[in-house]
Structure formats: structure tokens, C-alpha cells
Structure 1
Amino acid sequence: MPTGIIESLDHEARGITRLDGKTIFVEGALPGELVEFESHRRKPSYEVAHLRRVLKPSVSRVTPHCPHYGVCGGCSMQHVDAGAQVAAKQRVLEDNLHHLGKLDAEQLFPAIYGSPWGYRHRGRLSVRRVLKKGGVLVGFHEKKSSYVAEMTQCPNLPPHMSALIVPLRTMIDRLSIAERLPQIEFAVGERVTVLVLRILEAPTPGDEDLLREFADAHGVVFYLQPKGPATAYRFYPLDAPALSYTLPEFAIEHFFSPTEFTQVNHAINRVLVRRALRLLDPQPGERIADLFCGLGNFTLPIARSGAEVVGIEGSPELVRRAGENAADNGLSANTRFAVANLFEATEESLAALGHFDKMLIDPPREGALEVVKALGENDSAPARIVYISCNPSTLARDAAILVHQKGYRLRGAGVVNMFPNTSHVESIALFERG
């Protein structure tokens, strides 16, 4: 069986070694380790291999905290020390900027990180009845599989949410529509935990009784979703508090529905907003754009500074929610929200919004290519841009345009460990003109 010394980790947290001029990606191997591996996917220029034995372990290797690790596909880095996880993600960010963007940040910001456990306040659990496994399974998919992992807990979830997995399995197994209930979306707020049941068939009166009993026993709120996300409605109890999360530093409470996008890690989101506002440095009298603003996660803290903020988002539902949140927090006077498809942004469409002194961009994984291409190359463009990214490769692509074509400097960049124990890399970057 071939052996190799692992040089580094790739963006999926696989160890990289080389054999006969070929790059080998070894799943589960860590930098510095001497390992035995067996390839299971071969291409002309690379291979993907299973880790068979660690002959010389890394000091960063730890025992996974979760008994389901390796079977469940929800995590890929539990075998890595928490500090080493952050360092590996920082290297991924730097490598993408250097190799794809052909640039280096003038400063590396300190990484934003927190507790690696109990952080996931949102998620989607699959449901499937598997007679060979004794009934209904509730959990994430198995690694690289459509099968549902047989789970009894998940340390990434808040403890009370993790403790619901087994009771949910038992309760759903008693429903007449157990095989017509493929997933549960959960959202944990400040005062309430919501479970959204995706139902392909209406529950019977007996099913409804079981749901009410479960909600009362475990202190949760059930929503039922017969079709798309917009069809989700509160089933029981009807008098429960609304979902929300808070940004205490800015005296802001954001309300949201369980199917609307919010950051999953509330603690890290608070630190991220603080960092973004410090880098943006909004001042009273400035006019600032918040692009891909969602329900106002950054818009409202910027508005709290006294600046005038224009939030742009492609989802009419989120724009409506952002406006409501601005009103609830007494910030309607200096906020304005608009619906626009920023993936089709042009110089003309951006110019129509007026001049902005500064800009915050927080796009999905696809990045903000059309936005950065549409920015002017003169003094009419924002003097400062804070870019929040959930994909280092699209950040590097967009950064290259900002620096090499639009006259900005990449003043700094750093990682945000929004998803501990996974290979997901979130980051924040600061660009300034001149």
C-alpha cells in the first residue's frame, strides 16, 4: 500500500501528498503526517484516496468528539484541533488570494472564532423510515451519500436541539404520514425553537394530537410546510414568541421566519458584525450601500451609527422583513431598502442608486462579479469596501478585479470560523481606493 507525507490541506480539508508526479488527496490526513492510503478515484493528474493508516500522527490530530463522525457527512474536520482548523482555513484564504487573485493582503486580520460546539442555530435534518435500522431516522446525510445517518446526537447543535433527535425519531415513527415527511428544518431563536415539518400529505387529527403533545413536552413550536418555503405556516402553539436574534452591542433585535436566511452561528455573527463595522467605520452624514443585505444583518448596525444606508437584496420577502426590522428598531429614518438582482448589476444600474461613500458586500457563494465589474474607476466609486465572503475562490476573483482593474488596495483579510468542524471558509476583506 503506498505511503506519503502530507504537505497541506485543500479546501475540502483533504490532505495533499504527491506520488510519481501526481497529486493525491487523502481524506482524513493532516499536514506533516506520514500515512498509508488507498486510491478510490483516479484521474490523469490527480487521485482521491482513503486514509488507511497513520504511521506518524500530527500533533494537531485529536479524537473526534462525536460518535457519528466519519459516517455522518455534516463534519469533515473533527479530527483536527480547533486552533489548527482556523489556521488551515486562513491558509486556504491566503492561497486563493495569491494563486487565483494574484495578490496578497497588506495585513492578515486576526481570525474570528469561538466555541466549536453547540453553535448551529439553523439547519435541515433529513427524515427517512428504514426498517432495517428499526424505524425512523432523523439526521444529516451520510458522508457522500443520500442515505440518512443513524444519529442519536449532534454536538454542533445547541444541546437542547441535539437532545430532540431521539424523541423526534420516536414521535415521527408513530405518525401516519411518517413516510411522507422527508425533512425537518430547525431554527433556534432568542426565546423559541421552531421545527418546520416538510409534509407531502396533510396530517390526520391523530397526527396533530401527537405533534401538540410533543410541542408541549419539549417546548418547541411546529410549523407545517406543504410545498415551497413560502407555504410554511405556524401549526402549534399559536401564541409562542416570534423567532429573533440579537446584536446587543448595537441594541438591535432581528426578527425572522424559520425559512428565511440568517447566519447559523449567532455568537460568531455578533463578532463578525463588530469587525465589519470597525473596518467600514460609518460616520453620520455618509451614504453607505449594503449589497445582498438580506434581512438587514449589517444594514441596521450601520444605520445605528447615524449614516444613511441603502440595503439592496434580490428577495422581496427579505427586503420586506428588513424594512420591518428597521421600523421595530427605530431605524426607518436613515434606512432605505430596494429589490434588485445584483447578479445582473451594470454601471447604469449602480449609478442610478446615487453616490456611495462606502459599501459593504455580503454575497452568496457565487460572489459579486457583476457588482465589482460595474463599479466606476474614478472618484465616484466608494472610497472603502468591506467584503464578507463565504467562498474564498470567488472572493479572490472579485478581489483581483477590484485591485488590478478598479484601483483599490487590499488592505487586509482574515477568516471567520462560522462553521467549526467543517471545511467551510468564511472571510472578511477590506478594500480602499488609492
Structure 2
Amino acid sequence: MTTETAEKKAPPLPDEWLQVESLDLDAQGVAHKSDGKVVFIEGALPFEEVQIKVLRKKNNWEQGVLTALQRESSQRVRPGCKHFGLHPGACGGCKMQHLDAAAQVAVKQRALEDALWHLGKVKPDNMLRPLEGPSWHYRYRARLSVRHVIKKGVVLIGFHERKSSYVADMTECPVLPAQVSDLLVPLRGLIDSMEAKQTCPQIELACGDAPGSTTLGVIALVLRHLEPLSAADIARLRAFAIEHPGVQWWLQAKGPETVKLLDEGGPTLSYDLPDFGISMPFKPTDFTQVNPHINRVLVTRALRLLDVQGDERVIDWFCGLGNFTLPLATQAGEVLGIEGSDTLVARAHENFKRNQAAAPASRPLSPTRFVSRNLFEMTPDMLVADGRADRWLVDPPREGAFALAKAVAELHQEPERRNGWTPPKRIVYVSCNPATLARDAGLLVHQGGYRCSSAGVINMFPHTAHVESMAVFDLA
């Protein structure tokens, strides 16, 4: 045998065992190979020793999936859902079920601190205790895909498979309310019985509180249908709602503006904020927080940190349907809510009138006004025109509030443009994206005259890599 032949037949070198050092924001373990190349590993946890199957290779990094585990983390736990995992067909809705719930929160807190420092060069004076709630059955909003798989002769309803456009074959989901999880299999049977089973691609879920209670009451199901439904299919939907108390069907023929209730009457879809005596009616396609348990304590903490006095004017930026605005109206002297969606501004105004009518005569809501405006095009002049406010509540989408923070910074740098306007002495910023919070915090702190007095995470989405957070800025 020649040397060349021997080399060809030599057994392959064994896969390298990798030491996992940390967890990134996509819930991937982070390790380094012996040559220094960074590796991102699905399914691996910090301090574990693992082998992987490489899925992607670049010059300075690799991405792979866990195949063997030699040393297991003490924080590794048994996933609470049988559809979670790395196996083919696994549901992609959650990424962290293999990590202890308390450790998940610690990872998110570290992610927030890292983002604030590395992206914004901001270090809060104080880190707030994380806000936590139920780890299971918390998700009151969801968009469920529907697919009739002709080859298998089955209808699938649920989230997409991990890293796939296919719908996972789900029979339960423990992050949804138990009553909703129990509906997944019956819903599959319902859609399968319908004439329109090929033209109903989605069911959007929105749950509301029972009247006068914070327990689940209404289960609104928005059926997206690409063609008009037959009378027989409408009858099937009504029969399903009768058989499953609490279900309320809504139909969506085209865009969100076409959503309508199948049958008028019945309970109103709403949620309560009992600490403030506020009830918030909404439509199932309106933006509301996914986790109502956390939302209640989130609003309470935000207002406690804002520390509004009875004679002060407050602006609620990105106010939505009034989730913070209406509670603020129970404490402030005057409130202005500003939102980019005309639909949500109208809903917020309706909610204010409804709650004002229900308020005790001895404690009416403060004068409150709502304005529709594109908040991604804010300018210093627009800010001055809105008038001075003692305090701000800022709750932007993932894109953050860059234009708003930039306008504040410009007015701080150029005081001659203020025309009597003064900046708020305190800002409470609620964020769903640590990166954009850090960017805006950098502007407020380094150019806007503020200091970041505190920050902390809110575990709005247990078992996912999503990080919700809150930061407080005080005028220096």
C-alpha cells in the first residue's frame, strides 16, 4: 500500500469537543474552536462540553447544532412541551425551554446590560429587579398558521417548524392558555370539515378577560379566508362556538381593516388594569401585549417609576390604544397621547370616553387628548409645538424612538431653539428591543442632558429569546 493510499484510507479525526462560554440573543451557545473561530450552537447551554454538526461556515464563524453532550449544565431542564426540540418537525415558537426559567431571565438581563454598554456606552446607576410572571399559559395573542396537507390528508394548525415555512404538527401548546391549547385538535377537525379548508391560511388569536375579572373570558379567533365562506361553513363556525364556550369568531376577508365580528352580541373583547380601575376594550387585530399578567405589573411599575404628581402634564409617546395613557389619567393633571396609527388613536379616544363615564364622580380622569402623528419623523420644532411636559412615557415598537431622542438631543445642544420649551425631568422608556433602546439611551445620555438612573428586564415572553425592558432617564 502506497503512502498516498494509506492517507486516503486513514480514519477521519474525531469531532472537537467545544466548551460553551455563553448564550447569545438567539438562545445559541457560543464557543470557540481550538483555532479561535467562534461557533454558535443551537441547543447548547453555557459551561457545557459539546460536539456539533456544522450547518453554516464563514471565514470567521460557524453555526451548528448540538449532537453530543459530555458535560451538562446544571441549568438544563426537561422541556415542558413535547413539540420543542432540535428534531425534524420541532415547533419553532420557543427557543429556551431547555433552560431553567430563572436562568432565562438572567440571560436576558445580561443581554440588556451588554447592549446598553456596548452599543450606547450607557451604564445605569441601578439595575431593577426583573419583572416575572407565569412561565406557562401566558400567551393571550398568537398568529396560528393553517395548512391542509393533501398528501397526508390532514389539517395542521400552529406555529412554523424550527427554521422552516412548514407548519408544525402540534396537538397542544403549553404557552397558550390551557383552554386555547385544548382547542388545537378540535380546530383541525373543524377546518378539515369545511369547504374552504384550502383557502383559510391563518387563525389569529386574541384572548380577553372575563367581565369584571382578570381571568380568561373571551377567546377571539380571527379566521383569514381568501374566498367568501359558504353558508354551510358559516354554520360550522357557529356550531363550533356553541360547543366551545368563550369562542368568538371574527372573519377577515382581506387586510386588517376588513376584520368583522361574525355575530353581534356577546361579551366585549377587553382586558382590565385593576390597579387603576381601567378597562380596555380592543379589537383582535389591535396591538395589545401578548402577556396580560406581565402587562398589569408592567403598567404599575412604569407609573410608579414615573412618579407623576397631580398637577403635572405628561406625554405618552407611541400610546397605542391607551395602555399607559388611561392609567396616567388617574394620576396626572393633564395627559397627551401621541400615536402613529389613526385606528389606534380612535380606539384610545373611545376607551377614554368609556372609562371617564365609568369613573366615580369624586375621581374623574384628567383632561386627556390623543393625536395621530408619524413619530419616526419627529423634529425639534414639532417637539416644541407639543408644549412642555413634566414627564414622558415612551413605548415604541422594535424600531425604537430615534427621531424623538434625536430631537431632544438637538434642543439640548441648541437651547436658542426652545422658545420656552423645557425637557421633561423624567422619562420612562419601555422597550421591546435592547439594541434600539441602547442606541436611544446613548443619545439621551451623551447628547441630551440625561442620566440613566435605572434599567431592568421584563420577562414578557418566557422560553423565547425576546427581551422586553424598561429604563428610567432623569434630567442631569
With the shorter chain as reference, the TM-score category is over 0.9
CA distance in 2, matches of 1:250, 1:380: 29
Q: Is the 8 A contact 2:393 2:427 kept in 1?
A: yes
Aligned length: 433
Deviation at 1:133, TM superposition (A): 3.6
1:9 lines up with 2:23 in the alignment: yes
SS in 2 for 1:178: coil
Amino acid at match of 2:382: S
Task: Give the deviation of 1:134 after TM superposition.
Answer: 3.5
| Corresponding position of 1:286 | 312
Does the 8 Å contact 1:68/1:151 carry over to 2? yes
Which amino acid in 1 is paired with 2:319?
A: C
Alignment map for 1:256-405 (pairs within 5 Å): 256-330=282-356, 333-375=366-408, 376-377=411-412, 380-405=422-447
Report the Cα offset of residue 333 of structure 1: 4.6
After TM superposition, give the deviation of residue 132 of structure 1 in Å: 3.8
The residue type equivalent to 1:38 in the other structure is K
Contact 1:2 1:38 in 2 (8 A): no
CA distance in structure 2 between the partners assigned to 1:433 and 1:218 by the alignment: 53
The answer on whether the counterparts of 2:335 and 2:366 sit within 8 Å (CA) in structure 1 is no
- Aligned partner of 1:121 in structure 2 is 140
Alignment of 1:221 onto 2:254: no
Q: CA deviation at 1:47?
A: 1.1
Question: Do structure 1's residue 81 and structure 2's residue 100 form an aligned pair?
Answer: yes
* SS of alignment partner, residue 56 of structure 2: strand
For residue 65 of structure 1, what is the aligned residue in structure 2? 80
Q: Does 1:95 align with 2:108?
A: no
Q: Aligned to 1:367, what secondary structure does the other structure show?
A: coil
Secondary structure, in 3 states, of the residue corresponding to 2:351? helix
CA offsets per residue over residues 26-78 of structure 1, 9 Å max, x none? 01111111111121111122111111111111110001010100211100000
Q: How does 1:31-46 map to 2 (within 5 A)?
A: 31-46=46-61
Matches of 1:171 and 1:188, distance apart in 2: 20
Match for 1:357: what amino acid? D
Q: 1:28 maps to which residue?
A: 43
TM-score normalised per structure 2: 0.90
> Is residue 432 from structure 1 mapped to residue 474 from structure 2 by the alignment?
yes
What is the deviation of 1:2? 2.2
Matched, 1:173 2:192: yes
CA displacement at 1:356 relative to structure 2: 1.0
- TM-score (normalised: structure 1): 0.98
1:307 Cα deviation from its structure 2 partner: 2.7
Return the alpha-carbon distance in structure 1 between the equivalents of residues 156 and 317 of structure 2.
40
Q: Secondary structure at the match of 1:241?
A: coil
Larger Rg: 2
CA deviation string 1:70-96 (max 9, x = no partner): 211100000010000000000100110
In the alignment, residue 398 of structure 2 is paired with which amino acid?
R
Measure the CA separation in 1 of the matches of 2:385 and 2:346. 21
Give the one of 229, 234, 259 matched to 1:208.
Answer: 234
Q: How does 1:91-170 map to 2 (within 5 A)?
A: 91-170=110-189
For the pair 1:417 / 2:433, whether they are aligned, the reply is no
Answer yes or no: is the 8 Å Cα contact 2:313–2:332 preserved in 1: no
- Verify the 8 A CA contact 1:290 1:299 in the aligned structure 2: yes
Distance 2:366 2:78 in 1: 53
**Deviation at residue 240 of structure 1 after TM alignment:** 1.2
Aligned partner of 2:70 among 55, 63, 74: 55
Secondary structure, in 3 states, of the residue corresponding to 2:275? helix
Task: Give the AA of the match of 1:234.
Answer: L
Structure 1 consecutive aligned stretches of length 4 or more whose deviation exceeds 6 Å: none
Say whether residues 1:194 and 2:220 are aligned partners: yes
Letter matched to residue 146 of structure 2: V
- Tell me the alpha carbon deviations over residues 306-340 of structure 1, each in whole angstroms, 9 at most, x when there is no partner: 33110000001100111111111116652110000
| Structure 1 residue runs without a partner (length 5+) | none
Deviations 1:7-43 (A, max 9, x none): 1111111110011121111011111111111211111
* Secondary structure in structure 1 of the residue aligned to 2:209: coil
